[in-house]
Structure 1
Amino acid sequence: MYSNQDLKLFKNISEKLAKEAGKILLAYKSKIQIKKHKLESLDIATNADYASERFLVDSLKKSFPSHSIYSEEGQGTGEKESAFEWVIDPLDGTKEYLRNMPYYAVLISLEYKRNLILGTVYQPEIKRLYSAVKKFKATLNSNPITVSSQNNLNQSIINVRLMDYRMPKIQLSRFLNILNNITYKFYRVKSDFWDIQSLCYVAMGATEAFIQPTSKEWCPPKWYDVASGIIMVEEAGGKVTDFNGNRIKNRDITKGIIASNGLIHDELLKLVRI
């Protein structure tokens, strides 16, 4: 188990490491190299990904030697089992980073028995540090944040993760129907560069909702891409479920993701259940 004092320690160290990893990413921008092509030619890892991850893994091992680690590029992953597991994306938005866009971040989460208890998001280019810990208020640069109080769809803004060529045709047809439904119900329908930013926008009250259609056949985000954003929304007073209205468990994001301020959640669920 863990105490409130433990949570504060986890939070302080996570925030510190995220900022330091952000400095590494900024330093590597002038010497970036592609080190690995993954399943697709545009899905890549760079020397910056590996440098940031190496720093985070080594630092977490030093601070919490009994904890396990699950990281995008695999360094430190699977070396031990523990009720506490750190979930790391050392550079979320690698393609944007490579193209000199500011849309990237360091993502750190902590689970206890597969339940999220901490999330940290640091955006080095604009020096935004989002932080959420179970039982405590979510913050942005140490200032409390909360979800929007808007309860009317026609005055709400929603971010939608758009489809790509990998989506099966059957699911594409269903997604277009969902998109059609929400387009005529919401004030504005937008799409951001990355899922974590969309989740953080919901948490800080800048938008009212975010949806990410997924299935077992097509699930673009990985758990480390969204975990810190999910707890961010929840600890800011919002709600996150799958498309069936169930809380996301055991890292299963193959049934879609809906994040909202909670006030419009039930109405939004009706729009995606087609």
Structure 2
Amino acid sequence: MIQVEIDEAYNTLMEAVAKASEIVTTGFEGTKNVEEKSASYDLVTEFDRKTEDFLIATLSKAFPHHKFIGEETTAQIKLTDAPTWIIDPIDGTTNFVHCFPHSAISVALAVNREIVIGVVCNPMLVQTFTAIKGKGAFLNGKPIRASTATELRDAVVGFEISLASKPEYLDKFVKRYRSCVAQAQGMRCLGSAQLSLCMVAQGAWDAYHVEYLYPWDVAAGSLIITEAGGCVMDIDGGEFNCETGRIISAGTKSLAEKLVDVFDV
């Protein structure tokens, strides 16, 4: 895609997200029908489905040849070279169900398997994080920058410890938490991977780690971080790939590399 087409895609997306925000806000303030998917912590509501259906319908009308990977409607999660929209209609559905106002609409556009647009919108707090590759990162239109911390003792680190509720992850996550909390200035858990990545992008957190997730959980936020001057990598220190759902992110490469060692337990 040439830049003109990317700009057109971004503008269309921003209009769609603004309208989708109305769906999410209505659901947050009202009654929800809640269903379990794979487990008690893996929830879905009718507003997840309504939001995703609306976004796919709007974007596919504007870009009929584009592909889609959506949390609630798509079984296929492998990227191809074709322009592909990666959608999480409500990232942090458990927060949404409990009226904890940290959930987000998340949409990324990948071209040739590379993320070129990322938008993460928290309608409840009226926050919209955006990035176009090569053009910087923004919160509500104002530029944001990741932190410059290089040492763990100076760092607030986000860690999705709630995933330890899955028995097969418990020991690994507890060991990682113990290893990090003994060295970091502080640790946080927000319950939304995309908003957590945006915390790193705006410098509120110095780093964040999560794995066992899906492309829609990390694609948009990963671009927003790098466009804010931060770093993303695989948990083994290799190149980040949103299809694996594994990420260590930080304001600096130095801090990210230190966390690779911290979490290798």
When normalised by structure 1's length, the TM-score is 0.87
Within-5 A mapping of 1:167-246:
167-168=167-168, 171-212=169-210, 214=211, 219=212, 221-246=213-238
Contact 1:34 1:44 in 2 (8 A): no
Who is 1:165 aligned against? Answer: 165
CA distance in 2, matches of 1:111, 1:152: 33
Relative to structure 1, the CA distance from residue 8 to residue 39 in structure 2 (aligned partners, 3 Å threshold; closer, same or farther) is: same
Deviation at 1:77, TM superposition (A): 7.3
User: Hey, what's the Cα distance between the residues in 1 that align with 2:202 and 2:156?
Assistant: 13
Change over 3 Å in CA distance of 1:7–1:150 after alignment to 2:
same
Residue of structure 1 in register with 2:248 after alignment: 258
Between the aligned partners of 2:258 and 2:5, the Cα distance in structure 1 is 38
1:234 shift after superposition:
1.2
Q: Aligned partners of 1:31 and 1:63: how far apart in 2? A: 31
Matches within 5 A, 1:70-85: 70-74=69-73, 83-85=82-84
1:45-70 deviation line (CA, Å, top 9, x unaligned): 22211221121111001111110111
Displacement after TM superposition at 1:35 (Å): 6.3
Query: Which residues in structure 2 correspond to 1:60-75 (within 5 Å)?
Result: 60-74=59-73
- % identical equivalent positions: 25
CA contact (8 A) 1:159 1:211 kept: yes
Deviation at 1:230, TM superposition (A): 1.1
Is 1:9 aligned to residue 8 of structure 2?
Answer: yes
Q: After superposition, where does 1:46-65 map in structure 2 within 5 Å?
A: 46-65=45-64
Name which of 229, 234, 241 aligns with 1:249: 241
Q: CA deviation at 1:257?
A: 1.6
Per the TM alignment, residue 18 of structure 1 is displaced from its structure 2 partner at its CA by: 1.2
Structure 1: state its 5+ residue gaps: none
Contact 1:15-1:129 within 8 A present in 2 as well: no
1:124 maps to amino acid: P
1:118 aligned residue: 117
Q: Secondary structure at the match of 2:165?
A: coil
Aligned CA distance change for structure 1 residues 183 and 27 (closer, same or farther; 3 Å): closer
Which stretch shifts more, 24-33 or 87-96? 24-33
CA distance 1:187–1:85, shift in 2 (3 Å): same
Given that 1:149 and 1:261 are in contact with CA atoms closer than 8 Å, whether structure 2 keeps it comes out as yes
Q: Stretches of 4+ moved more than 4 A in 1?
A: 75-78
Deviation at 1:193, TM superposition (A): 2.2
Q: Which runs of 5+ in 2 are unaligned?
A: none
Contact 2:197 2:222 in 1 (8 A): yes
2:146 maps to 147
Contact 2:206 / 2:250 at 8 angstroms: preserved in 1? Answer: yes
Opposite residue 101 of structure 2, the aligned amino acid is P
Structure 1 residue 233: Cα displacement? 0.9
Deviation, structure 1 residue 36: 4.4
Paired AA for residue 264 in structure 2:
R
SS at match of 1:74: coil
